[in-house]
Amino acid sequence: MQIARRAGVVLGSVSAAVATMAAGLPARAATEPPWQIAATVHYGPADYASGYSAVVATAKDDAWAFGGTNPGGTSTPTAERWNGKRWQPWALPSGLSGFIVAAAASSPDNVWAVGSGYALHWNGAAWSVAKTWSQGGETSSVAVITPADVWVFGFASFSGAPGLGTWHFTGRAWIRGTGIAAAIYRASAVSRHDIWAITVSPAGGSVVRYDGYSWERVTAADAALANTQLDDVLAASPSNVWVSGVSPVNGAGGHLVLAHFNGVRWTRFVSPWPVQQPERFATDGAHGVWIPAVTGGDDPATWILHLSPAGSWTRTQIVSAGPQAGVGVGDLALIPGTTTLWGSGGLLTATGGNAAIWEHGVPGVGLTARDHRADPRHGARPGRLIVAGRGEVVRVYLTVGGRGAIRVYLTIRRCRAHHVPGPAFPPGRDPVMARSSAPRLSVPD
pLDDT grade for 321, boundaries at 50, 70 and 90: low
- Categorize the per-residue pLDDT at 23 as very low, low, confident or very high, splitting at 50, 70 and 90: very low
Least confident of 121-135, 190-204, 412-426: 412-426
Q: Which residues of the chain does CATH 2.130.10.10 include?
A: 35-360
Q: What is the pLDDT of residue 159?
A: 59
Looking at residue 81, what is its pLDDT? 98
Show the 3-state SS of the chain: CHHHHHHHHHHHHHHHHHHHHHHCCCHHHHHCCCEEEEEEECCCCCCCECEEEEEEEEECCEEEEEEECCCCCCCCEEEEEECCCCEEECCCCCCCCCCEEEEEEEECCEEEEEECCEEEEECCCCEEEEEECCCCCECCEEEEEECCEEEEECCCCCCCCCECCCEEECCCCEEECCHHHHHEEEEEEEECCEEEEEECCCCCCEEEEECCCCEEECHHHCCCCCCCEEEEEEEEECCEEEEEEEECCCCCCCEEEEEEECCCCEEEEEEEEECCEECCCEECCCCCEEEEEECCCCCCCEEEEEECCCCCEEEEECCCCCCCCEEEEEEEEECCCCCCEEEEEEEECCCCEEEEEEEECCCCEEEEEECCCCCHHHCCCCCEEEECCCCCEEEEEEEECCEEEEEEEEEECCCCCEEEECCCCCCCCCCCCCCCCCCEEEECC
Question: Among 140-144, 310-314, 367-371, 429-433, where is mean pLDDT lowest?
Answer: 429-433
Neighbours of 114 (CB within 10 A): 29
* Entry field: residues in the chain: 445
Please determine, for residue 77, whether its predicted confidence score (pLDDT) is greater than 50. Answer: yes
What's the confidence (pLDDT) of residue 370? 33
Backbone dihedral region for residue 3 (phi beyond 0: left; psi -120 to 50: alpha; all else: beta): alpha
CATH fold of 35-360 reads: Methylamine Dehydrogenase; Chain H (2.130.10)
Q: Report the predicted TM-score, pTM, of the whole model to 2 decimal places.
A: 0.75
CB contact at 8 A, 245 and 229:
yes
- Residue range 329-379, pLDDT digits in tens: 999 999 999 999 999 999 988 888 999 999 998 443 333 333 333 333 334
The pLDDT tens digits for 395-443 are: 444 444 444 444 444 444 444 444 434 333 333 333 322 223 333 333 3
Q: What is the mean pLDDT of residues 62-80?
A: 94
With CA atoms as reference, report the closest residue to 104 among 153, 166, 155, 50: 153
Query: What is the pLDDT confidence band of residue 158, given thresholds at 50, 70 and 90?
Result: low
- For residues 229-240, average pLDDT: 97
